[in-house]
Amino acid sequence: MAAVKRPLYIAGSGAVTPAGLNAPQTVAAIRAGLSAFEEMLLSEPLGATQVVARIRAHSRLRRTDGQWLVNMAARAIGEALRSGMRVSETTAILLAPPESFRNHPAYADIAPPDFLTAVMSATGQKFHAASRATDGGAAASIGLLERASELVEQQGVEQVLLGGVDSLVNDTDLARLGRAGRLKGADNAQGLVPGEAAAFVRLTRSPEGKAHVHAAIYGVGLAQEQDSVLSERYSQGRALLGALRDAVTGSGPSEPDIDFVISNSNGERYSGWEQLITRPRFYRTRREALATAFPAMTIGDIGAAGGALALMLAADSFVNDYAPGRTAVCELASENGLRAAAVMARMTRR
């Protein structure tokens, strides 16, 4: 996969995360370097605690794991939709829910094939028939950008809401990650902090409104890593390198143009090792420093929601003029080994 046929524009966004109940609150907290971490008492083993990043919400919204994910997604979708004037019937949703291999407890309430329907129903809106859900985590949602580009070129689809929803703050994932020694704790400084979130970006084929600055997506790359974090080997960075190289293929920005990175790296030793190997092989142009934003430092590992959140953060930094340059790359990794990269640039109009 390489450059999209024509630039896609991020015209709006929506989010609910441990750092904020909407997109502006979330990006402000990440920009300020705040932490939404807290200790949670576990039921197994009894009395143990775990550092998590959890959204504070009324218990009635969390009656079941499935209902909780649907409520999060519906809230973020509603915010993203209200950021523009187009109606929902001409809007397609491309959604990344929790990966199927995890046996997320939400799927005990809502079967994976029914998840997107449940989310759309919860919004109270009717969306375009081209709406789809895809398995594969944060990187898979970035891979959907090519599909989004095709949809907005078709008559009848005026915009795409691309995003994901996930929660690692559940007994199943906590037990799985704990057995693998992957959770951050007193005996593991290089572990992940489980988080939860829903994040969506609103994509259009041309800039909206009279604003002077816009955020555009120029290239996308996708590759499969054989040595995933679920294997017994450390990644040599082959898939991430391939995704990055594919993302800069075409007429858009190239490697020397990249000013900063947004990564969903979660603090695990595995992730740090992969980046350490990959970056010198891709970023060959001399730089004094390569500025990198790690949203997980504020909101933890948010799984499938991480792809759209990275796009949202890059777009916000361009539009609100705090980006450390005009070109960014979003680097996304999924647990199952999928790797993705998206090249974005700050566009100005006279």
pLDDT in tens, the chain (350 residues): 555 778 999 999 999 999 999 999 999 999 999 999 999 988 777 778 999 999 988 888 888 999 999 999 999 999 999 999 999 999 999 999 999 999 999 999 999 999 999 999 999 999 999 999 999 999 999 999 999 999 998 888 999 999 999 999 999 999 999 999 999 998 899 999 999 999 999 999 999 888 889 999 999 999 999 999 999 899 999 999 999 999 999 888 999 999 999 999 999 999 999 999 999 999 999 999 999 999 999 999 999 999 999 999 999 999 999 999 999 999 999 999 999 999 999 999 76
In whole angstroms, what is the distance from residue 32 CA to residue 296 CA?
Answer: 13
Cis ω before 45 (30° cut-off from 0): yes
* pLDDT for residue 349: 77
* pLDDT for residue 2: 52
Which amino acid is located at 265 in the chain? S
pTM, full prediction = 0.96
In whole angstroms, what is the distance from residue 250 CA to residue 218 CA?
Answer: 9
In whole angstroms, what is the distance from residue 307 CA to residue 200 CA?
Answer: 9
> Are 30 and 298 in contact, with CB atoms under 8 Å apart?
yes
CA 39 vs CA 11, 53, 184, 193, 216: distances in Å: 36, 9, 11, 10, 38
Domains of the chain (ranges; CATH) run 1-350 (3.40.47.10)
* pLDDT for residue 47: 79
* pLDDT for residue 46: 77
